[in-house]
Structure 1
Amino acid sequence: MERRSFLRVVTAGAGAVAFAGGLWQGAAAGVAGESPYGPLLAADANGVALPQGFTSRIVARSSHSVGGATWHGAPDGGACFADGDAWIYVSNSELPLIGGASAIRFRADGSVDRAYRILSGTTLNCAGGATPWNTWLSCEETWRGRVFETDPYGVRSAVARTAMGRFKHEAAACDPDRRVVYLTEDEEDGCLYRFTPTTWGDLSAGRLDVLCDAGGGAVVWQRVPNPSPLFTETRDQVSSALKFDGGEGCYYAGGVCYFTAKGENSVYAYNAAANTLGKIYGGGGTLGTVDNITGRSGGDLYVAEDGGNEEINIITPDGVVAPVMRLDGHADSEITGPAFSPDGTRLYFSSQRGTSGNTTGIDGVTFEVRGPFRH
């Protein structure tokens, strides 16, 4: 998103945030309005309520076979990767001890070619992020959790990238303009981190910083003294570190890193070019318990709910917030892993616990929605 689009978002509508020196000055409530796709219709046979012209299908179910592999339980963060005229959807598993990540390869016609594991032997793999060099960063949401760099194509073995910090990781978003990776932390007093690799494209070494209050409404990055602590947590090592209640999804586009804080039900925007921090959504409104986030090149953001109405909502560059999908009968689940196919015509996501709400995640369901999504 260009900076002028970003500024339209953060200043749109009554209650939207006004920037004054850097830090947000109040909450941007967003503007409830009609989705650019129109209202949701009655749920289809898969329990998915969609606008006119959109269709859904179930591509995988936890504990069931898909593409010659058993699909993992508790599907969470995800991303899509191009593979010639085909594509791959990668999904984490937020299960303890046996989490990891799996991938489904789709043929050019959308049919499932095969599925396979790309990471095993890790725990509570929640969200993550794709890299510009086509790897998937799978993040452990646990004490002293690690980031694993994995191969969506299933050729190379996964590698732990401990230089990116040992904490309760959630999501990651790469900023190729500044050659850094932003990282969220799912704690009640979690932080936003920035990892600067020594060599861009190689995450084995680098510097970990935390976003801090510089006073007078300004923000600044300060180095985390010990990214892999045994005692003092990373979020407690720099006294001026800004705290966010339940850091979740993270998405970068056009100079802006967007991230969600579930405990605050807020969507933040860090403008890396201007080094400012603001809110584009906060508090009440159509979105309930914000979680994973993704977007499109035209500036639209898509935010999944953990609870609420079990919806994915769009936030347009004009600040309109409206549902584009709702799952009926999944009241005790959460929507996870929203990701667009490379051509932008298909949106993948999961219901982590399905209609049963079983906390073991054995009833997770992964969906595909097709339709005229805006670019």
Structure 2
Amino acid sequence: MALLSTPLDTFNSTPPVTKAFAITLLVASLGYQYVSFTATHTEGKSPPYLEWLLLYPGWWIYNPWTIVTCVVVEPSIFGLLGTLIFTVPSLRYFERLWGTVETIKFILITTVISNGISLVVNYIESFIFGNPELFLYGMPYYGTMALQTALLVAFTQIIPEHQVQLFGFIKARVKRLPMAYVTVSNIMCIIGLQSPWILIQWGWLVGWGYLRFYKKTSADGATLNGTIGAETWGDRSETFAFVHWFPPLVHGPLGKVTEFVYDNAVRLKLVPGHSSADAEGGSYMPVGSGPGNTRAEAERRRAMALKALDQRMANNAASNASGSRPPQPANGEPPAPSHKRSGSVSKRPTETSSPTGGGQGQS
């Protein structure tokens, strides 16, 4: 009878980057909440050194590390629970699929760039509206909202047609979740809660841009694009194009705009152009390649993702098994069995000689 894995077993089987991220998140968030709560009740306000962890646009130049540390700080217990429920298991899944290095790059790129864009936006707002107390010193940025949206984009890349059930009664396909989250961000920003909800929008754009153009596909085994032993950059398939985040009604005009932006970005060497490996590996499909190809391409990439994950896990299991094999002799021959006397005496057949004509035994 199979036993359910305990939390300790789950923790031990978690890849290193996800494990370190979860521990850092718990320590930083719970420490921040405890110090802030106790100081508010004793002194009436939070201690100023807590601001060394959150990203304030006006103080960022004096505390540059906050553009990274703010990611692992959730000032509210609900934000912390949401991160533990969704972000950590998602990172655990993708670290097994992508590997350690790509997971670290994905976390840093999606969070740091999103935070940097938010800084620029706040400085522009302060310049236009002339309220630095609000835009520079009253809007701290924190949490993993940008990373959460980027992870939703990554799930859309590999399992777009997979259906999930939210709150027990809301059913939605994975490819609809990022834009639903972006819609929530738009509403929160309109009602005045720009911090930290605007990070969702930047996380969506940065996550899609990185996965579309820059993420290096592993050359080990079957890749997400279906190639074997070929390195490609990004996912140029039609199902992952920018226009497919929006309703079909705007695909025509929006496609022309995105094509214009892409051509100029390639000309300025901001993004790599299409390569022969992309075409051969199936990671690039031109727009209008035929009806029904969207669903087929989505299922193909889902199968390739599962195949790549299975192969990576099989390689890890094989390496662990090879490490536990007994050492072989240098000459390549198996070790000779050791003859040990046991307590019981076994009968051995006696050698008999057949008499021959000369009375001598057969040699």
Output the TM-score relative to the length of structure 2: 0.22
Larger radius of gyration: 2
Output the TM-score relative to the length of structure 1: 0.22
More helix by share: 2
**Greater relative CO (CA pairs within 8 A, separation 6+):** 1
